[in-house]
Amino acid sequence: MEHLRIMNRQRAYLDYNATAPLLPAAREAVVAALDMPGNPSSVHAEGRAAREAYSRARDAVARLCGAQPAHVIFTSGATEAASHVLTPDFRMGRAPVRLETLFIGATEHPCVLSGGRFAPESVKTLPVDANGVIDLDAVRAALEGRGEGQFMLTLQLANNETGVIQPVREIADIVHAVGGVMVVDAVQAGGRLPIDIEALGADFLFISAHKIGGPKGAGALISRGETFMPSPLIRGGGQEKGHRAGTENLAAIAGFGAAAQVAVELLANVADLAARRDAMEARMREAAPDVIIHGVNAPRLANTSYVSLPGMKAETAQIAFDMEGIAVSSGSACSSGKVGASHVLKAMGADAELGAIRVSIGPHTTGTDIDAFIEAFAKINARRLARLAGQNAA
């Protein structure tokens, strides 16, 4: 009965960094595409209609990323896009090019930490400071001492757990000065930061549909040009100019395009989102003066708070919030259900075993949602203090 009571009451969804709720425009685009019988590769009228919808989505995603539509490769998501581009095997026109080393930040998403198609011994990790910002001096030293051969460096524009924004352009300039390839994970930036592949200095970047209010199951790898390209991950037919084989997931991609159009418009609301996030954090400090807000002294996404309560494990807090009708995360959604220390907190020198709760709001988060979160936060904190007092008394 308790389970039914909780599921039937109004809940507050504060986990936009895991998945943003599906936008009405994206839902409409998905349904319209599902009603199209044609294959985008077919030449008849039905196929041409499907191809037109596909092209509109490509144009919208390209605009979101400041790229050319011809440079957008659709994938099943950001993880596939990362696995596609994180490879030692490239081609410059028809000539093969081999990359020897992959450099990654210590706080990267698991799909980058895995190293893609690079051998484990070829992957080198770069440190971050206490706020989770990449250490520029360490980058310079690592690249200068890398040895022979070409290399790639991959970095998040914004961290998925802390929301910390990295100095991507500065890193890209360092990478290009010594002939490297720069890849940017822009997954969390859509609708929250301007994305421009040229301004970022990225050779490649990748994004995901469901982080910006599109459907799950679509993503994109975007390149700066078409001459220097990674070897295909999925081979077969000639879809995506031979870069990614397989019949296109038209419904998901159409929804992706619709969400990309909205994501550009959402940038106008970033200042308001930051003000609401800051007010929420101030109320958390009032309720629990010892609360730790990770990355607070660095530039962060306007919607993200990553917080720890001393003496309380993140998994315990997440369950407690869920029982109060509040949806939050205890780290990357891709790692949910796995008990273990946060690699992000560990890299920052924080208490990785304790973990942290990620609260990520969005344009549809209401004042009522935040009030409900703060009420639950105060209750959970009161129970924490009572437990710690009991332990001290014993």
Instruction: Indicate whether 387 and 307 sit together in one domain.
Output: yes
Instruction: Indicate whether 377 and 333 sit together in one domain.
Output: yes
Residues spanned by the domain of 351: 2-19+269-393
Instruction: Indicate whether 201 and 103 sit together in one domain.
Output: yes
Residue 340: phi and psi, rounded to 5, are 175, 165
Per residue in 200-252, pLDDT tens?
999 999 999 999 999 999 999 999 999 999 999 999 988 998 899 999 999 99
Beta pairing class for 95-105 and 357-360: unpaired
Q: Which of 215, 245, 265 is the last residue of a domain?
A: 265
DSSP secondary structure code for residue 73 in this structure: E
Provide mean pLDDT across the span 253-276.
95
Instruction: Indicate whether 215 and 304 sit together in one domain.
Output: no
Q: Which of 220, 244, 265 is the last residue of a domain?
A: 265
Q: Which of 220, 246, 265 is the last residue of a domain?
A: 265
With 70 as the cut, is the pLDDT of residue 19 above it?
Answer: yes
Look at residues 244, 213, 196, 238 and name the one whose alpha carbon lies nearest to residue 84.
244
Instruction: Indicate whether 52 and 152 sit together in one domain.
Output: yes
Q: What is the pLDDT, as a whole number, of residue 5?
A: 39
With 70 as the cut, is the pLDDT of residue 327 above it?
Answer: yes
| CATH code of the domain in which 294 resides | 3.90.1150.10
- Gap between the Cα atoms of 254 and 55, Å rounded: 9
Instruction: Indicate whether 87 and 206 sit together in one domain.
Output: yes
Helix (H, G, I), strand (E, B) or coil at 328: coil
Instruction: Indicate whether 124 and 152 sit together in one domain.
Output: yes
Look at residues 388, 211, 217 and name the one whose alpha carbon lies nearest to residue 313.
388
Per residue in 111-142, pLDDT tens?
999 999 999 999 999 999 999 999 999 999 99
> Known catalytic residues?
334
- Look at the chain and count its residues: 394
Instruction: Indicate whether 244 and 170 sit together in one domain.
Output: yes
Greater pLDDT, 30 or 392: 30
Q: How many structural domains compose the chain?
A: 2
Specify the pTM.
0.93
| CATH code of the domain in which 110 resides | 3.40.640.10
Helix (H, G, I), strand (E, B) or coil at 114: coil
